[in-house]
Structure 1
Amino acid sequence: MNVRDRQQKNDNADRRIRFLFLEGIAMQFQVSYSFRTKITTSLLMAGLFVFMLLIPSARAQGQSQERLMTVIEAVQTALVENHEIRALQSATQAQEMDIGIARSYLLPRI
Structure 2
Amino acid sequence: MTCKERSLLLELLSRAADVAEKTDGRVVIEPLNRYETHLVNHIGTAAELCESVGSPRLGILADFYHMNLEEADMEQSITDVAEHIFHVQLGDSNRLLPGQGHLAFQPG
TM-score w.r.t. structure 2 length? 0.21
Which of the pair is proportionally richer in helix? 1
Greater relative contact order (CA < 8 Å, ≥ 6 in sequence): 2
Which of the pair is proportionally richer in strand? 2
TM-score w.r.t. structure 1 length? 0.21
